[in-house]
Amino acid sequence: MKSLCTMFLGLHQSLESCHSKNGVFALMGRNSVQRLGSVWVQIMHISSGGRRPKKKIYHRVHELDRVMDLKKKPCLILQLKSIIQSQKHQSLLLRDLEKQVGFVHKWNFMAVIEKYPSIFRVNGGNRTPPSVELTEKAKRIADEETEARKQMEPILVENLRKLLMMSVDCRVPLENIEFIESELGLPQDFKETLIPKYPEFFSVKDFNGRAYLQLENWDSSLAVTAREKRFARERVLDSVGHARKARVSKDGNFSGPYAFLMSYPAGFRPNMSYLEEVQRWQKMEFPSPYLNARRFEAADPKARKRVVAVLHELLSLTMEKRMTSAQLDAFHSEFLLPARLLLCLIKHHGIFYITNKGARSTVFLKEAYDGSNLIEKSPLLGFNNKFVALSGRRESTLCNGISSSHIVT
């Protein structure tokens, strides 16, 4: 009998190469089989006696796939708004649009300009070159972005500090921060406007020819994860209600200080032995993501559960509670993430969801969404929702999980 062989080559190679329109992980193996609502994923198998390879099903979550479709037009609207506002006279010549976005994407933006006259107004013609600017109503709402950015600043500072505290050396390459700046909600000029404003928290230092964002002081009060905060809230609610019976949960959820919120996809039918294993895992204690990863042996089950907590917290720090596979992959060294990160994400499909919708594969934190709607929104997302609402779109998860309810202050 031959030794076990894995079909996973690593997060960066696998996720970025699986953009088949027929399924999330269509390129994980030639024997992968597609069916509606789920994807056959070949995990590992023993080759012997002509037996067929053992396969597991990765079920789709259509509501989260839909999130990626819903954000396309709002992203174009908000991007065009930013381009217009960056111009000296708050007006963009249509002939210059190609210089800003490229020849191919220019036509997408031209369609947006034509479709939403309530937001964009075209001027000129005859002897005057045509240009586009915001309508008066759009300008009034756009002016509210300054206040939303002001409300975001303490949130951004805290989240940046927490991000650095989770890293093994309390520092992260500045280029990695830039890579996820829009996911965190950082302004494009954060290196000039935000970082120098808080020298007591941050500094930029050079290590081996690379610029790093360095944490200047540790604050133990920040070393509390989003999962721990949720448990504290639930414990208060449980204390005024009836005590829960100690039994095996059919949905994988368990009330305890080391448990994660689970949400299995429709169509997934775990048997009792699977649920018992999940409950044992839910009960197992593990080190905090804010403790240095070098202190723990990677093969230790508690350390492996800690990796799940690190991914959970990292996604929790983003505005939309999601990141692309490439963005997660960029933090391998800083957080000592496992080489087979994709396998970890698939194994814990009750916590995370991976979709290939959009230009890049994306990892969602499932508990942050109610269907296709992000549950909690930052002030910046609230502003974005209000601006995009000028197009006539109703509440939905937009470019940055935009919605008008549950604004986080």
User: Could you read off the pLDDT of 171-193 as tens digits, one per residue?
Assistant: 999 999 999 999 999 999 999 99
- For the chain, domains (ranges, CATH) are 5-61 (no CATH), 145-220 (1.10.10.1420), 221-370 (no CATH)
Beta bridge pairs of residue 56: 41
pLDDT-derived band at 392, boundaries 50, 70, 90: confident
Cβ(10)–Cβ(18) below 8 Å: no
Q: Please check the confidence at residue 401 and state whether its pLDDT lies above 80.
A: no
pLDDT at 5 over 90: no
List, for residues 43-80, the tens digit of each pLDDT value: 444 444 555 555 567 788 999 999 998 998 999 999 99
Contact 44, 5 (CB under 8 A): yes
Instruction: Give the type of residue at 208.
Output: N
pLDDT band at 255 (very low <50, low <70, confident <90, very high): confident
The larger pLDDT score, comparing residue 10 to residue 122, is at: 122
What pTM did the predictor assign? Answer: 0.81
Do the beta carbons of residue 57 and residue 41 sit within 8 Å? yes
Q: What is the mean pLDDT of residues 68-96?
A: 93
Q: What is the rounded average pLDDT for all residues in the chain?
A: 83
Checking 19-25 for CB contacts under 8 A at 24+ apart, the result is: 19/356, 19/360, 19/361, 20/356, 23/356, 24/58, 24/60, 24/354, 24/355, 24/356, 24/361, 25/58, 25/356
Q: What is the pLDDT of residues 227-240, one digit of tens each?
A: 999 888 877 655 54
Average confidence (pLDDT) over 304-332: 96
- The better pLDDT of the pair 56, 337 is held by 337
Distance of CA 233 to CAs 239, 257, 289, Å? 10, 11, 20
